[in-house]
């Protein structure tokens, strides 16, 4: 019996558990991570794709801005269809009211077998009055009502298998191209709305600005002392900072966090991509829902006496960047941040109020 005692300490660190833990942290090329045959794990992606194509998904977008800035045209350009407003008669569109009465239009659009239930919420009359005090209240009320509707369905004892999602996933704010900096109304609206929804600012009808004016507009997002917005009569500063530093500095001064937010970048690759997007904010866009013939190709654009402004040409405007952000690269991220951040904040606040 005593002859076995020296061997016992050498057997205390078991070899089997170490080999079992290796596949978790070791690269796939090391021993213990290789499979001896085809298992079919990659088929999970195909299963998810087939299920999504059958059930479809929902996306809700809101456009905010003064009348005549091309909000409806921009939405039609994004989805290349007439999705802005339903017409009461063929070939005619409903008149736009001059009061801030939100209108939502829902369409089911399909592309290559993928169905999407798209809801577009327009805010006609925003900022059109002489006195625009508290003109954002109907918009804030509407967004919170959608959160409340989702919360009521979620806390039911017997819940639906799939809760209808009417929450606003993204708000595109249209800045008029008439000035050379953001107005106090623009700053106050984005400051309030950025706390409850993903806000993406754009410069509407950017074809009315020259390239120099466009760059100057982006750089002159100015803030006054102690975070108060300056009046429009103040002359521009002689030396302008770089686009990124100026915009980020002014947005932070007014506590405005536009999408994509830096706090939600999950990994270095996302940060690099989002940094390139943040350099272009606010996007200078042009909308058009008519096609024209250019060099033998049909392109979306605005026809003028001196030429055609191609909407999807990056040299003419930044509409392709906006489209990629909202649809091609960050659509699911918009929905995730809406659910995990904005809706979660509203849910915690409401439940705390109920407990009190």
d(C-alpha 96, C-alpha 1), whole Å = 96
In a domain, 136, yes or no: yes
Task: Answer for the pair 229, 187: CB distance below 8 angstroms, yes or no.
Answer: yes
In a domain, 322, yes or no: yes
In a domain, 11, yes or no: no
- Cα distances from 237 to residues 39, 224, 243, in angstroms, run 65, 12, 14
pLDDT classification of 222: cutoffs 50, 70, 90: very low
| pLDDT, mean of residues 48-69 | 88
d(C-alpha 61, C-alpha 74), whole Å = 12
What is the predicted pLDDT for the residue at 135?
87
Find the domain containing 61 and state its range: 42-84+97-225+257-355
pLDDT tens digits for 134-190? 889 999 999 999 999 999 999 999 988 889 999 999 999 998 887 656 778 888 899
DSSP codes, 145-158: HHHHHHHHHHT-SS
| Structural domain total, the chain | 1
What is the predicted pLDDT for the residue at 63?
94
In a domain, 268, yes or no: yes
In a domain, 191, yes or no: yes
In a domain, 243, yes or no: no
What is the predicted pLDDT for the residue at 219?
65
What is the predicted pLDDT for the residue at 348?
96
Which of 131-140, 194-203, 221-230, 347-356 comes out lowest in average pLDDT?
A: 221-230
In a domain, 119, yes or no: yes
What is the DSSP secondary structure assignment for residue 338, as one 8-state letter? Answer: I
Which phi-psi region, left, alpha or beta, contains residue 91 (left: φ > 0; alpha: ψ -120 to 50)? left
CATH number of the domain enclosing 179: 3.40.50.300
In a domain, 300, yes or no: yes
Token couple for 117: 């239930």
What is the predicted pLDDT for the residue at 239?
36
% pLDDT > 90, the chain: 29
Residue 40 sits at φ, ψ, to 5 deg, of 105, 20
Better-scored residue on pLDDT, 227 or 121: 121
Task: Answer for the pair 156, 150: CB distance below 8 angstroms, yes or no.
Answer: no
The pTM score is 0.77
pLDDT classification of 250: cutoffs 50, 70, 90: low
Beta bridge partners of residue 76, listed in sequence order: none
| Chain centroid, CA 118 distance in Å | 14
**DSSP SS3 for 127:** coil
Average pLDDT, the chain: 78
pLDDT classification of 102: cutoffs 50, 70, 90: confident
């Amino acid at each position: 019996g005593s002859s076995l005692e020296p061997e016992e300490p050498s057997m205390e660190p078991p070899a089997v558990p170490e080999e079992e833990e290796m596949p978790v942290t070791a690269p796939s090329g090391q021993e213990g991570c290789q499979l001896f045959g085809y298992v079919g794990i990659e088929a999970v992606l195909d299963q998810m794709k087939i299920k999504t194509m059958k059930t479809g998904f929902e996306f809700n977008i809101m456009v905010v801005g003064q009348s005549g800035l091309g909000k409806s045209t921009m939405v039609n350009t994004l989805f290349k269809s007439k999705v802005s407003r339903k017409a009461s008669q063929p070939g005619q569109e409903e008149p736009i009211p001059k009061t801030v009465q939100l209108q939502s239009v829902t369409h089911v659009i399909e592309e290559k077998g993928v169905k999407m239930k798209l809801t577009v919420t327009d805010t006609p009359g925003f900022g059109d009055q002489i006195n625009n005090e508290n003109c954002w209240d109907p918009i804030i009320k509407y967004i919170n009502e959608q959160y409340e509707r989702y919360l009521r369905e979620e806390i039911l004892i017997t819940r639906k298998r799939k809760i209808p999602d009417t929450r606003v996933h993204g708000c595109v704010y249209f800045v008029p191209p008439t000035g050379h900096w953001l107005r106090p109304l623009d700053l106050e609206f984005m400051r309030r709305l950025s706390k409850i929804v993903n806000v993406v600012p754009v410069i509407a009808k950017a074809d009315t600005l020259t390239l120099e004016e466009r760059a100057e507009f982006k750089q002159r997002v100015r803030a006054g002392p102690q975070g108060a917005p300056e009046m429009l009569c103040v002359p521009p500063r002689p030396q302008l900072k770089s686009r990124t530093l100026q915009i980020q500095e002014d947005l932070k001064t007014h506590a405005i966090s536009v999408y994509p937010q830096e706090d939600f970048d999950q990994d270095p690759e996302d940060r690099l991509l989002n940094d390139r997007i943040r350099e272009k904010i606010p996007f200078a866009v042009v909308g058009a829902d008519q096609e024209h013939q250019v060099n033998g190709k049909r392109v979306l654009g605005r026809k003028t006496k001196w030429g055609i402004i191609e909407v999807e040409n990056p040299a003419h405007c930044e509409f392709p960047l906006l489209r990629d952000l909202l649809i091609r690269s960050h659509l699911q991220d918009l929905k995730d941040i809406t659910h995990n951040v904005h809706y979660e904040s509203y849910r915690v606040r409401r439940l705390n109020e109920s407990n009190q």
